[in-house]
Structure 1
């Protein structure tokens, strides 16, 4: 007996059954190609931990971006306005907001944060509702978080070594971007969205077991860079 059913990508999957009741299955060429490449053949879910992380980190980043936008508007209305996060000569949002780097693409950088973190929240909520997405969607999200991480680290470099001041709300954006990038990447590697050689699998599993060490080390490194860059000021407070 031959039964036909629609498999992934609308390609037929054929199940053969003979008189002895033995069953063999012939998968579609598209499915075999996905499996050979280590990529998932169908929609991939994210799991609740990743979903909650996207929602919470997205909310943190969105809140910080919204506050920065409001502060920027007030600064444009009144050049003498002192933002709420002007604490001392080093921790000063106003010093950062007045620089060209604060509008890297011709408009205030927080606009990018509002758009990007809103998308992250929507994806997280969809995953909590049970949504699963095709590989192309996850790759699109991966591209977005990579670009976000690259831009944030360019801003970190500009803040520390060119502007000479740090913005607390900007640092909240940094803090939100790092785990979104890290855990999205880890998810995509684990689920085969980003195929890796089989010899790398043990290393991936080891990293996944101690996943929290990477963002922790990341935060510590940035904190040390800030401490070292402005040590001439911090030591006056001791």
Structure 2
């Protein structure tokens, strides 16, 4: 006698076979690398910003290393109210947030399995981060009129974290997806690079357009 092999129903064929929130295989390795690189870059940029802010508080004449020209000027940004939205330097939020992200990556690399509530917490944190980043982008472009290179590293890292955390949570069922939307999620995962590339391109075009009066003097 041969054992009967259960065949998956049509509605189940596209379902991720791993438990909710648990990445597997190549997807797990990719997520670990994404979290590790984005977390490390964001943490490094936040650390430099915090150090420069402390030096600036101690010595108002201190010139940060990223003061390059009238537009690329961290000092101009650090002296604004927007740089301390909650009453303390925004970079302190980055120190905490990116440390959590990096610790998450290291935990996954060591074989940790996080509960659904943890992934939802990471989703909420990355959502708040990307909202704050876009508010700061608008303030930098249209109110402050200056750009901070280290801040832009934080922008890029936060956008990548939000996008890939969202994709992971959709794919693994942390964020429930109906059968009608499952093919959309599958295609988003297949062409996962397209959205962040377009996202970064729009921001780059906004920066180019806003400061074109200065960029054209460099041509």
| Distance of 2:182 and 2:157 partners within structure 1 | 28
Instruction: Indicate the residue corresponding to 2:9 in structure 1.
Output: none
Instruction: Indicate the residue corresponding to 1:84 in structure 2.
Output: 65
Instruction: Indicate the residue corresponding to 1:45 in structure 2.
Output: 22
Distance 1:39 1:210, change over 3 A: closer
Instruction: Indicate the residue corresponding to 2:123 in structure 1.
Output: 142
Instruction: Indicate the residue corresponding to 1:187 in structure 2.
Output: 168
Using the TM superposition, give the Cα deviation of residue 43 of structure 1 relative to its aligned residue in structure 2, in angstroms: 5.8
What is the number of residues matched between the two proteins? 204
| Distance of 1:181 and 1:173 partners within structure 2 | 12
Deviates more, 1:82-91 or 1:39-48: 39-48
Which 4+ stretches in 1 moved above 4 angstroms?
38-43
Residues 62-108 of structure 1, C-alpha deviation per residue, up to 9 Å, x if partnerless?
00000001110111111111110000000000000000000000000
Which of the numbers 200, 203, 206 marks the counterpart of 1:222? 203
Q: SS where residue 81 of structure 1 aligns? A: coil
In the superposition, the TM-score normalised over structure 1's length comes to: 0.82
Q: SS where residue 62 of structure 2 aligns? A: coil
Instruction: Indicate the residue corresponding to 2:87 in structure 1.
Output: 106
Q: SS where residue 199 of structure 1 aligns? A: coil
Instruction: Indicate the residue corresponding to 2:8 in structure 1.
Output: none
Instruction: Indicate the residue corresponding to 2:159 in structure 1.
Output: 178
**1:52–1:128 contact (8 Å) kept in structure 2:** no
RCO (CA 8 Å, sep 6+): is it higher in 1 or 2?
A: 2
Query: Which aligned pairs between 1:1-238 and structure 2 lie closer than 5 A?
Result: 44-46=21-23, 47-238=28-219
Instruction: Specify every segment of 5 or more residues in structure 1 that has no aligned partner in the other structure, as ranges.
Output: 1-21, 24-34
| Distance of 1:44 and 1:145 partners within structure 2 | 16
